């Protein structure tokens, strides 16, 4: 085992501007945000969060693409020891536990013995946007780039479990990857799903991402895909699936990734923490700005194309509203067609400011269940951030 190579570049300047003639695809850099960029194996320039283990954030401007390119798709690992090279001919996926027969499947087995399945789905780190929490909380200080949208191709988990033959009384299914703890005192990263969820026909084991093999840093050769749920469940370098006839009691289910029970956005008060907590699960409603970037300088009396993304856990975004007067009034944006119920949905709004000054723009999304975004949200772990997003712009 050894760590991946990270090639430090320089402080790189990233930004997009509004212009008078078109959308964000034609935007030119006019304002800067300072970020430490690195090149990792198989990746282009990405924002460095940590180098051991490798945790890399996607630069915001790549979110102008409907599907996030593999070479800049965000990277999230918990354990530092992992293979730097995997022999696809030697690799095996083991299915064991409360099953009729233990399986050891090769990549060829998965591609030839099962019907291929494809789904479009957004992967979003539970701690995405943690750096924006106030009061600040510990943990990786992600901005908005700890997520990515992709087309995933592989095998339905229920088909794999059917081949193994799940025994009566099966209760949970646990998933382990090839990453290993650096010390004996560090718990292995293992996640679990209830058996009904695992067998729902949407949870899958992916071997392709955007029609190409998974990048190593995104979990090659296999990645669990749990559409609509936070990416903590999307175990990469997957090499073991184990069925239990009782509750799985691993650290990463019982001690970590917990949120207040019964609260849709995981909200709690910093001076009165919730006593009843449960494992994080379904993604909540959220929207972000993609263009322009914060503190961009734009021209008065010229059209500015505001653009962003909205998403939830699969119920479907039905409305995105924007406020150009710091939340006093709200107007509906134009929504692009859906790419799939588990993906993000792009919104656009044309704004022509008539007076110079500093503006605070706000955006909020609503889904088919009527769930929307609160003006403020916080929890001790910095999970599920979905308070109304703000964007500061300067008009001259």
Element of type H or E holding 164:
helix 157-164
Q: Tokens 């007067």 — which residue?
A: 325
pLDDT of residue 227: 98
pLDDT digits (tens, 9 = 90+) for 234-255: 999 999 999 999 999 999 999 9
Work out the burial of residue 115: count CB atoms within 10 Å of its CB; fewer than 13 is exposed, 13-18 middle, 19 or more buried: exposed
- What is the residue whose two structure tokens read 């592989």? 154
With CA atoms as reference, report the closest residue to 148 among 126, 122, 168: 122
Domains (range + CATH), the chain: 6-69 (no CATH), 93-279 (3.90.420.10), 286-395 (2.60.40.650)
- Say how far apart CA 242 and CA 252 lie, in whole Å: 15
- Assessment of whether the complete model's pTM goes beyond 0.85: yes
Provide the pLDDT for residue 8: 54
| All residues at 6 or more sequence positions from 318 whose CB lies less than 8 Å from its CB, including other chains | 366, 367, 368
CA proximity to 361, closest of 386, 335, 388, 396: 388
**Model confidence over 258-289: pLDDT tens digits?**
999 999 899 999 999 999 999 999 999 999 99
Angstrom distance (rounded) from CA 32 to CA 47: 14
pLDDT at 1: 44
| pLDDT given for residue 3 in this prediction | 52
In 3D space, the residue among 12, 106, 112 whose CA is nearest the CA of residue 59 turns out to be 12
Q: Which tokens belong to 12? A: 């790189």
Q: How many residues does the chain have?
A: 396
CA angle 207, 211, 216 (to 5 degrees): 50
User: DSSP per residue over 331-343, as a string?
Assistant: EEPEEPPPS-TTS
pLDDT values of the chain reduced to their tens digit, one per residue, 396 residues: 445 566 554 443 334 345 433 333 333 333 345 678 999 989 999 999 999 999 999 999 999 999 999 999 999 999 999 999 999 999 999 999 999 999 999 999 999 999 999 999 999 999 999 999 999 999 999 999 999 999 999 999 999 999 999 999 999 999 999 999 999 999 999 999 999 999 999 999 999 999 999 999 999 999 999 999 999 999 999 999 999 999 999 999 999 999 999 998 999 999 999 999 999 999 999 999 999 989 999 999 999 999 999 999 999 999 999 999 999 999 999 999 999 999 999 999 999 999 999 999 999 999 999 999 999 999 999 999 999 999 999 999
Residue 19: per-residue pLDDT: 44
Q: Where are the beta strands (DSSP E) in 219-344?
A: 223-225, 238-244, 258-260, 277-279, 286-291, 297-298, 304-311, 317-323, 331-332, 334-335
pLDDT of 264 reads 85
């Amino acid at each position: 085992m050894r760590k991946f190579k990270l090639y430090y570049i320089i402080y790189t300047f990233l930004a997009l501007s509004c212009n008078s003639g078109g959308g964000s695809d034609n935007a030119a850099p006019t304002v800067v945000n300072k970020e430490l960029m690195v090149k990792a194996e198989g990746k282009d320039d990405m924002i460095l969060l940590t180098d051991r283990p490798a945790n890399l954030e996607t630069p915001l401007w790549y979110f102008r693409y409907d599907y996030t390119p593999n070479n800049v798709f965000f990277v999230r690992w918990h354990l530092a020891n992992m293979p730097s090279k995997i022999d696809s001919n030697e690799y095996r996926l083991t299915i064991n536990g409360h099953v009729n027969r233990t399986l050891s499947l090769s990549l060829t087995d998965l591609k030839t013995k099962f019907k291929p399945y494809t789904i479009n789905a957004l992967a979003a780190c539970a701690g995405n946007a943690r750096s924006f929490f106030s009061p600040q909380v510990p943990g990786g200080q992600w901005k908005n780039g700890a997520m990515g949208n992709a087309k995933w191709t592989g095998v339905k988990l229920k088909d794999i479990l059917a081949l193994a033959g799940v025994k009566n009384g099966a209760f949970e299914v646990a998933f382990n990857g090839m990453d290993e703890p650096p010390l004996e005192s560090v718990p292995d990263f293992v996640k679990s799903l209830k058996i009904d969820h695992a067998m729902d026909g949407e949870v899958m084991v992916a071997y392709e991402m955007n029609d190409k093999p998974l990048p190593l840093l995104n979990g090659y050769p296999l990645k669990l895909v749990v559409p609509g749920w936070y990416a903590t469940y999307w175990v990469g370098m997957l090499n073991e699936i184990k069925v239990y006839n009782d509750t799985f009691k691993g650290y990463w289910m019982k001690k970590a990734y917990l949120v207040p029970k019964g609260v849709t956005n995981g909200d709690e008060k910093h001076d009165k923490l919730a006593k009843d907590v449960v494992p994080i699960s379904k993604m909540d409603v959220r929207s972000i700005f993609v263009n322009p970037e914060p503190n961009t300088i734009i021209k008065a009396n010229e059209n500015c194309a505001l653009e962003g993304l909205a998403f939830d856990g699969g119920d479907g975004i039905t409305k995105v509203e924007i406020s150009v007067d710091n939340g006093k009034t709200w107007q509906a944006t134009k929504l692009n067609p859906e790419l799939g119920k588990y993906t993000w949905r792009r919104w656009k709004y044309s704004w022509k400011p008539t007076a110079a000054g500093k503006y605070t723009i706000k955006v909020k999304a609503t889904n088919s269940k009527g769930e929307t975004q609160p003006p403020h949200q916080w929890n001790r772990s910095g999970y599920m951030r979905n308070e109304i997003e703000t964007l500061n712009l300067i008009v001259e």
